[in-house]
């Protein structure tokens, strides 16, 4: 370090001599009072950077007193972008201060000026090439450049870091680590490894419309963030769910796997054939231009020939969707006959043996999920469908 400083000092001394020899040809001004930044040769020698100019005077004159190669402007201009500082006071005469890498004002490198928060190579402070009075300056001198100087200062220049990660707990409270259980609410046993979704002693609603027939359950989440800004929610879902056929959208998995994990992500479209199998639907509101805005979490295509299979499945997949800031996410399960298939394993005909779903590697850890998930109502025990929703990250363009 000492060796490097010595070399820089020798270089600065050479600059100062050259600057002194060229002062006359630069027409250093007619008034020499009020300069506090150093004597005739202080443009390259004053250790503290000074606040005036070498011979610029309080009215600036026509010369900035700067060192060689247009190191003029602010108050100090640290050499080789080593100081940066806060811009100093810019001097009262438009001249430059010292050029040594001690203290000074608005960062500067070779051919970089301080003063008036110039533009150029440095982003924050008064960096810039030829701004702030490079050949004489205005009579008022530099105007106290502010901000960080050279390219190595935090938040400025080419070395600044990226934006911090977006926090799911802040942007969409409650979604990360959400456990969604399609619980039994009726202690009666409908048989066939089913369980009731409607209240006890209540008939299942029936209308001329599939949407209003049966029972629906919804859960909403408020998406915070900046209105008008797009956010992408990257997530993972695991659980034991009944699959269902949809149409008019895009399926990820074409055929269900009875004994392995399934990807139920279905983009766009709608339920197929008004069947009695329950949906798992996600709607984004307001709609995002160019996006599906309606998604399903238990989807297989209507061409799969497995639309009405009385079985629940292991579901395990990763996916993403786009939402605007200040929006609403609505999750809905709808069942037209008020009954759902129990989680009874791959061969329910031989008895109800609930699947156990691996939940390792999820964050937050699903400590509230006690498998096999069971609903005990009166004398009966039911094994409901359920899922765990893990938001892995949220990004924004």
Q: Which of 89, 105, 91, 83 is nearest to 137 (CA)?
A: 91
Query: What pLDDT was estimated at residue 112?
Result: 36
**Residue 67: beta bridge partners?**
71
Is 8 a member of any domain? no
Is 362 a member of any domain? yes
Among 128, 162, 196, identify where a domain stops: 162
Identify the three-state secondary structure at position 392: strand
Tens-place pLDDT, residues 152-195: 333 333 434 556 689 999 999 999 999 999 999 999 999 999 99
Rounded to 5°, angle at Cα 94 from 92 and 99: 105
203, 85: one domain = no
Query: What pLDDT was estimated at residue 308?
Result: 83
Q: Which of 377, 353, 352, 373 is nearest to 189 (CA)?
A: 377
With a cut of 50, which residues of the chain have pLDDT below it? 1-160
150, 180: one domain = no
* Tokens matching residue 290: 């160019």
List, edge to edge, every strand of the sheet that includes 244-247.
270-271, 244-247, 299-301
Strand (E) or helix (H) holding 3: helix 2-22
Among 162, 187, 211, identify where a domain stops: 162
Q: Domain range holding 153?
A: 13-162
Rounded to 5°, angle at Cα 320 from 286 and 363: 115
347, 317: one domain = yes
115, 235: one domain = no
Is 245 a member of any domain? yes
- Cβ atoms of 118 and 64 within 8 Å: the answer is no
Identify the three-state secondary structure at position 321: strand
Is 75 a member of any domain? yes
Using a 10 angstrom Cβ sphere, with 0-12 exposed, 13-18 middle and 19 or more buried, the burial of residue 350 is: exposed
DSSP 200: T
Among 162, 181, 199, identify where a domain stops: 162
Q: Write the CB contacts of 349 (distance below 8 Å, at least 6 apart in sequence).
A: none
Is 6 a member of any domain? no
365, 349: one domain = yes
154, 48: one domain = yes
Alpha helix stretches (DSSP H) within 190-250: none
Which pTM does this prediction carry? Answer: 0.61
Residue linked to tokens 């020899």: 21
Task: Give the span between the Cα atoms of 370 and 363, in whole angstroms.
Answer: 16
82, 193: one domain = no
Is 1 a member of any domain? no
Identify the three-state secondary structure at position 68: helix
DSSP 205: P
Tens-place pLDDT, residues 336-383: 999 999 999 999 888 899 999 999 999 999 998 999 999 999 999 999
374, 252: one domain = yes
149, 192: one domain = no
Kindly write down the DSSP assignment for every residue of 146-172, as one continuous string: -S--STTSTTSGGG---PPPP-HHHHS
148, 211: one domain = no
Is 189 a member of any domain? yes
Our count of domains for the chain comes to 2
46, 172: one domain = no
94, 20: one domain = yes
């Amino acid at each position: 370090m000492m060796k490097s400083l010595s070399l820089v000092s020798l270089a600065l001394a050479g600059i100062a001599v050259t600057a002194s020899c060229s002062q006359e040809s630069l027409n250093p001004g007619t008034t020499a009072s009020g300069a506090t930044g150093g004597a005739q040769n202080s443009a390259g020698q004053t250790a503290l950077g000074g606040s005036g100019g070498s011979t610029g005077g309080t009215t600036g004159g026509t010369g900035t007193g700067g060192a060689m190669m247009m190191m003029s402007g602010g108050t100090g201009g640290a050499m080789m972008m080593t100081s940066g500082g806060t811009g100093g006071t810019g001097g009262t005469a438009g001249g430059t201060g010292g050029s040594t890498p001690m203290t000074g004002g608005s960062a500067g490198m070779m051919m970089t000026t301080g003063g008036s928060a110039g533009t150029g190579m440095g982003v924050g402070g008064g960096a810039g090439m030829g701004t702030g009075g490079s050949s004489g300056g205005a009579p008022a001198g530099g105007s106290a450049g502010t901000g960080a100087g050279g390219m190595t200062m935090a938040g400025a220049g080419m070395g600044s870091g990226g934006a911090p990660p977006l926090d799911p707990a802040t942007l969409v409270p409650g979604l990360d680590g959400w456990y969604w259980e399609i619980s039994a609410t009726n202690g009666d046993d409908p048989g066939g490894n089913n369980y009731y979704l409607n209240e006890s002693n209540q008939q299942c609603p029936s209308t001329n419309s599939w949407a209003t027939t049966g029972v629906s359950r919804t859960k909403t989440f408020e998406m915070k963030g900046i209105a008008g800004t797009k956010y992408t929610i990257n997530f993972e879902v695991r659980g034991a769910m009944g699959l269902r056929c949809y149409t008019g959208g895009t399926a990820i998995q074409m055929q269900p796997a009875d004994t392995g994990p399934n990807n139920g992500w279905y983009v766009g479209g709608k339920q197929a054939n008004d069947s009695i199998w329950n949906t798992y639907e996600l709607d984004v509101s307001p709609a995002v231009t160019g996006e599906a805005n309606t998604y399903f979490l238990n989807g297989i295509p209507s061409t799969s020939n497995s639309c009405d299979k009385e079985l629940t499945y292991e579901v395990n997949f990763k996916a993403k969707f786009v939402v605007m800031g200040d929006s609403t996410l609505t999750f809905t399960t709808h069942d037209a006959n008020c009954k759902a298939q129990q989680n009874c394993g791959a061969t329910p005909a031989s008895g109800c043996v609930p699947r156990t779903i691996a939940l390792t590697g999820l964050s937050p850890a699903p400590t509230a999920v006690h498998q096999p998930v069971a609903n005990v109502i009166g004398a009966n025990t039911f094994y409901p469908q359920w899922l765990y929703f893990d938001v892995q990250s949220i990004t924004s363009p």
